[in-house]
C-alpha cells in the first residue's frame, strides 16, 4: 500500500495544479509572449571533447514557470558546433532534439553535421541541448533510482502480477509528486518549446532552424505553433500525430510493434540455416514464447548488470528491434543459443546492451511529466484492463509491456488537459519538411499523414517499409539528400498530393550468428551504445 505521505503528496499536488494543467497545453498568442522571460545569458567554453575539439558548452538559466519569468530558475545544458563558413553564407542556428521525451541532444551537433556535405554543414551553428529536468540540465529530476531494477514483475496480466504493477506505478507517481511538485507540472512539451525560444533569444538569433525526431516532432510543431515567425526551416522525422491522445498513440504503437516483430520472425525463419529456429515465422515466435515461459521459473543472472533477467527484462531486450532492424541478428542469436544449447550468454549481453537500467531512472520522469500531463488518461484500472485486453488479442508482443510502462499516468497527480495537446495549425509557418516510414513502430505512419494535413505547405517524404525509427542519417541517399537540399537552400520535393516523395527502405540485415566472447566482461557487456553504433536506438518514444 502507498504510505500516507505519498497519498497526501498525490492529493495535494493534484489540487495545487488542477487549474494549471487545464491550460498547460494552450498556446498564448505569439505577440502576448513577454519580451523579458527572465532567462540568463550564454557563456561558452570548451566541452573538452577530444573527438570534436570545436564543440562548446554552456548552461542557460530559464524560468520554471514562464507565467512567472522572474521566479524560480532552472538551468538548461546545451552545446554548439559553430558555423565555419564565411559570415555571408551562414544560415543561423539549428536546434536539434532526438525525442524521448527527455533524451539528450548533446550528441547531435557532431553526429548530424558529420553526415551531410561540409559545404552545407559549415553554414549552420549546430545546437544540442538537454531538456529541462534531464541529463546534464539542472536539476536532474530523480523519482526512483531503482524503478527499473530487475527482476521486475511479469508484464503479462495472465501471470497475476497486476496488483504488483499497480502498486509500483502508483508509488512512482507519488515519488515524483512528493519530491518534485514544484517542477513536474512545468515539464510539458510547451514548457520545453518555450525553453527553445529562450535559447534562441540567448543566441541573439531572430529565427531558428530545427530538426526533431520522434517526440522531437511534437516539440518542433509546438514551437512552430507558439512562435511561427521565429522559424526559418524545420524538419520533422518519424512523426507523432498532432491530435491523437498519448493513450491512443500507445495503442497504435502496440499494433505496429506486432507487425515489426512478425517481420523479424519472418526474416529469422528465412535464415533457418543460421539460427535453426524453424522455417516459418510461427516457429520463430514459438521459440520466443518458449524462452519467455522458461524465464518465468528460471530467471538468469543479468551480470554484469545487477539483478536477474526474467520475462519483463526479456521483453524489454526484444522490443527495440522495432526501432532498429540492425538488432535482428543479435535477437535471433539470443533465441537460437537459448533454445538449442540453453546458452544464456547472448541474452545477458543483449540485455546489458539494450535494456539494462542506468544508475537512476534516467529520463523516465520527463517522459511521464510530458505524456501524463498533456492529455487526459483513463484513471480507472477496470477500463485499462478491458481495453488493453482487446488490443492484446491482435498485438500480444508489446501491449502489456507498453501498458505497464505508461501505468503511472493512471495515478499522475497533474490531471491531463481534457482538451488534449496543443492544436497544430501551421498558421504563419514556412514550409516544413516531413519524413515518415510506413512501418515505423514507435511513431506509426498515421502520424506523418496527420502532421502533413495539419501543416499547410509542408512536404511529406515517405519511406515504404520499415528499418529504423528516425529514418534520416543511416546512409539512405534518397532520404538524406532531400534533407541536405532543404538545408542548403530551402529546396523541397516537387511532388504534389499528400506524399511528395517516396523512398525505398534499406536492405534487411545479413543473418549472422553473433558469437559471444569467450569471457564476458563488464566492458564488453555494458559499454553503452554510442550514437554512432549501428545498433543504437535514438529518440525512443515508448
pLDDT at 283: 98
pLDDT band at 100 (very low <50, low <70, confident <90, very high): very high
∠ at Cα 497 (492, 499), nearest 5°? Answer: 65
Is 468 a residue whose pLDDT tops 90? Answer: yes
pLDDT of residue 38: 58
pLDDT of residue 256 exceeding 60, the answer is yes
Residue 311 CA from chain centroid, whole number: 23
Q: Give the separation between CA 268 and CA 110, rounded to whole angstroms.
A: 35
Q: How many C-beta atoms lie closer than 10 Å to residue 464's C-beta?
A: 12
pLDDT at residue 415, as a whole number: 84
pLDDT of residue 521: 55
**Whole-angstrom Cα distance, residue 358 to residue 361?**
7
Report the range of poorest mean pLDDT among 286-290, 392-396, 515-519: 515-519
Q: Is the pLDDT of residue 7 over 80?
A: no
Question: Which region, left, alpha or beta, applies to residue 487 given φ > 0 means left and ψ of -120 to 50 means alpha?
Answer: alpha
> CB within 8 A of 479, min separation 6: which ones?
435, 461, 463, 471, 472, 503
- Is the pLDDT reported for residue 365 higher than 50? yes
The predicted structure's pLDDT at residue 32: 47
Neighbours of 181 (CB within 10 A): 18
pLDDT band of 39, cuts 50, 70, 90: low
State the pairing for strand pair 125-129/208-214: unpaired
pLDDT band at 469 (very low <50, low <70, confident <90, very high): very high
Residue 14 has pLDDT above 60, yes or no: no
Alpha carbon dihedral 481, 425, 106, 150, in 10-degree steps, equals -110
Least confident of 32-41, 124-133, 474-483: 32-41
Closest to 23 (Cα-Cα) out of 68, 73, 67, 74: 67
* Residue 520 CA to its chain's centroid (Å): 30
Q: Are 372 and 365 in contact (CB under 8 A)?
A: no
Which pLDDT band holds residue 531 (cuts at 50, 70, 90)?
confident
pLDDT digits (tens, 9 = 90+) for 171-190: 999 999 999 999 999 999 99
From the CB of residue 114, how many other CB atoms can be counted at a distance below 10 Å?
14
Region(s) of the chain under CATH 3.40.50.1820: 30-139+184-242+419-503
CA distance 65 to 72: 8
Q: Which of 291, 288, 537 has its CA nearest to residue 397?
A: 288
Q: What's the mean pLDDT in 129-157?
A: 97
Over residues 292-303, the pLDDT tens digits come to 999 999 999 999
Q: What is the 3-state secondary structure (H, E, C) of 245-283?
A: CHHHHHHHHHHHHHHHHHHHHHHHHHCHHHHCCCCCHHH
Q: Helix or strand or coil: residue 344? A: coil
Nearest to 143 by CA among 356, 357, 364: 364
| pLDDT of amino acid 64 | 98
Query: What pLDDT is stored for residue 513 in this prediction?
Result: 98
pLDDT at 15: 39
Reading the block at residue 140, the C-alpha cell is 536532474
Q: Are 43 and 60 in contact (CB under 8 A)?
A: no
- Burial-class residue 190 by CB neighbours within 10 Å (0-12, 13-18, 19+): buried
Q: DSSP letters along 109-140, please?
A: HHHHHTTS-HHHHTTSEEEEEPPTTSTTSBS-
Residue 467 has pLDDT above 80, yes or no: yes
* Model pLDDT, residue 519: 62
**Residues 188, 294: Cα–Cα separation, whole Å:** 41
Cα angle value 465/467/472 (rounded, 5°) = 100
Checking if the pLDDT of 476 tops 90, the result is yes
* pTM attached to this predicted model: 0.93
Give the confidence band of 520 by pLDDT, cuts at 50, 70, 90: low
* Residues involved in catalysis: 214, 440, 469
Do 331 and 318 touch, CB atoms closer than 8 A?
yes
pLDDT band at 5 (very low <50, low <70, confident <90, very high): very low
Cell numbers for 347, please give them. Answer: 541474452
pLDDT > 70? residue 154: yes
- Average pLDDT value over all residues in the chain: 92
Cell representation of residue 246: 498519448
In this predicted structure, the answer to whether residue 226 has a pLDDT above a threshold of 50 is: yes
d(CA 350, CA 332): 11
Tell me the C-alpha distance between 76 and 254, whole Å.
33
Q: Determine the 3-state secondary structure of 287 from DSSP.
A: helix
Closest by Cα among 382, 41, 74 to 199? 41
**How much of the chain exceeds pLDDT 90, in percent?**
87
d(CA 443, CA 323): 10
Work out the angle at residue 396's Cα, subtended by the Cα atoms of residues 412 and 244, and round it to the nearest 5 degrees. 45
Residue 360 has pLDDT above 80, yes or no: yes
The secondary structure of residue 467, as a DSSP letter, is S
Q: Would you state the pLDDT for residue 29?
A: 52
CB atoms within 10 A of CB 376: 17
pLDDT attached to residue 8 = 37
Report the C-alpha gap between 375 and 246 in whole angstroms: 7
- Alpha-carbon distances of 507 from 435, 457, 534, rounded to whole Å: 19, 32, 14
337 or 518, which is more confident:
337
CATH class of 30-139+184-242+419-503: alpha beta
Please state, in angstroms and as integers, the Cα–Cα distance from residue 57 to each residue in 27, 74, 96, 248, 530, following that order.
31, 17, 15, 38, 19
Report the distance separating Cα 371 and Cα 377, nearest Å.
9
Mean per-residue pLDDT for 68-80?
97
pLDDT bin (cut points 50, 70, 90) of residue 542 is: confident
Angle of CA points 519, 523, 527, to nearest 5°: 130
Of 103, 114, 100, 108, the closest CA to residue 127 belongs to 108
Amino acid at each position: 500500500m502507498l504510505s500516507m505521505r505519498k497519498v497526501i503528496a498525490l492529493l495535494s499536488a493534484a489540487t495545487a495544479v488542477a487549474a494549471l494543467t487545464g491550460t498547460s497545453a494552450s498556446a498564448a498568442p505569439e505577440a502576448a509572449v513577454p519580451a523579458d522571460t527572465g532567462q540568463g545569458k550564454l557563456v561558452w567554453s570548451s566541452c573538452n571533447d577530444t573527438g570534436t575539439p570545436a564543440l562548446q558548452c554552456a548552461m542557460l538559466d530559464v524560468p520554471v514557470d514562464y507565467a512567472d519569468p522572474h521566479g524560480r530558475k532552472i538551468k538548461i545544458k546545451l552545446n554548439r558546433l559553430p558555423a565555419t563558413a564565411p559570415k555571408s553564407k551562414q544560415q543561423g542556428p539549428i536546434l536539434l532534439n532526438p525525442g524521448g521525451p527527455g533524451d539528450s541532444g548533446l550528441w547531435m551537433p557532431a553526429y548530424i553535421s558529420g553526415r551531410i556535405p561540409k559545404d552545407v554543414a559549415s553554414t549552420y551553428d549546430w545546437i544540442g541541448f538537454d531538456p529541462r529536468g534531464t541529463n546534464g540540465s539542472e536539476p536532474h529530476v530523480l523519482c526512483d533510482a531503482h524503478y527499473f531494477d530487475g527482476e521486475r514483475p511479469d508484464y503479462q496480466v495472465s501471470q497475476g502480477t497486476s496488483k504488483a504493477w499497480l502498486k509500483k506505478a502508483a508509488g512512482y507517481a507519488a515519488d515524483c509528486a512528493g519530491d518534485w511538485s514544484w517542477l513536474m507540472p512545468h515539464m510539458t512539451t510547451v514548457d520545453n518549446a518555450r525553453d527553445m525560444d529562450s535559447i534562441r533569444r540567448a543566441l541573439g538569433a531572430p529565427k531558428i532552424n530545427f530538426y526533431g525526431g520522434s517526440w522531437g516532432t511534437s516539440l518542433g510543431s509546438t514551437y512552430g505553433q507558439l512562435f511561427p515567425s521565429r522559424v526559418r526551416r524545420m524538419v520533422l522525422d518519424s512523426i507523432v500525430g498532432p491530435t491523437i491522445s498519448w493513450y491512443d498513440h500507445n495503442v497504435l504503437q502496440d499494433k505496429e510493434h506486432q507487425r515489426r516483430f512478425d517481420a523479424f520472425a519472418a526474416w529469422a525463419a528465412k535464415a533457418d540455416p543460421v539460427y535453426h529456429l524453424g522455417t516459418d515465422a510461427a516457429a520463430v515466435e514459438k521459440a520466443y514464447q518458449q524462452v519467455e515461459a522458461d524465464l518465468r521459473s528460471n530467471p538468469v543472472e543479468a551480470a554484469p548488470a545487477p539483478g536477474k533477467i526474467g520475462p519483463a527484462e526479456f521483453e524489454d531486450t526484444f522490443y527495440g528491434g522495432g526501432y532498429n532492424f540492425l538488432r535482428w541478428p543479435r535477437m535471433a542469436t539470443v533465441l537460437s543459443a537459448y533454445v538449442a544449447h540453453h546458452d544464456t550468454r547472448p541474452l545477458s549481453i543483449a540485455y546489458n546492451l539494450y535494456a539494462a537500467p542506468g544508475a537512476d531512472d534516467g529520463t523516465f520522469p520527463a517522459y511521464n511529466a510530458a505524456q501524463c500531463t498533456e492529455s487526459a488518461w483513463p484513471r480507472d484500472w477496470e477500463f485499462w484492463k478491458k481495453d488493453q485486453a482487446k488490443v492484446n488479442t491482435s498485438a500480444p508482443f508489446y501491449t502489456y509491456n507498453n501498458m505497464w510502462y505508461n501505468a503511472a499516468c493512471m495515478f499522475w497527480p497533474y490531471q491531463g488537459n481534457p482538451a488534449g495537446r496543443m492544436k497544430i495549425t501551421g498558421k504563419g509557418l514556412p514550409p516544413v519538411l516531413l519524413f515518415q516510414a510506413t512501418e515505423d513502430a514507435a511513431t506509426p505512419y498515421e502520424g506523418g499523414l496527420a502532421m502533413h494535413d495539419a501543416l499547410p505547405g509542408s512536404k511529406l517524404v515517405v519511406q515504404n517499409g520499415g528499418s529504423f525509427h528516425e529514418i534520416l542519417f543511416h546512409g539512405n541517399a534518397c532520404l538524406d539528400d532531400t534533407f541536405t537540399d532543404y538545408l542548403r537552400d530551402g529546396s523541397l520535393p516537387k511532388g504534389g498530393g499528400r506524399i511528395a516523395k517516396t523512398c525505398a527502405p534499406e536492405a534487411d540485415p545479413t543473418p549472422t550468428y553473433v558469437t559471444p566472447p569467450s569471457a564476458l566482461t563488464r566492458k564488453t557487456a555494458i559499454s553503452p551504445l554510442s550514437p554512432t553504433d549501428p545498433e543504437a536506438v535514438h529518440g525512443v518514444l515508448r
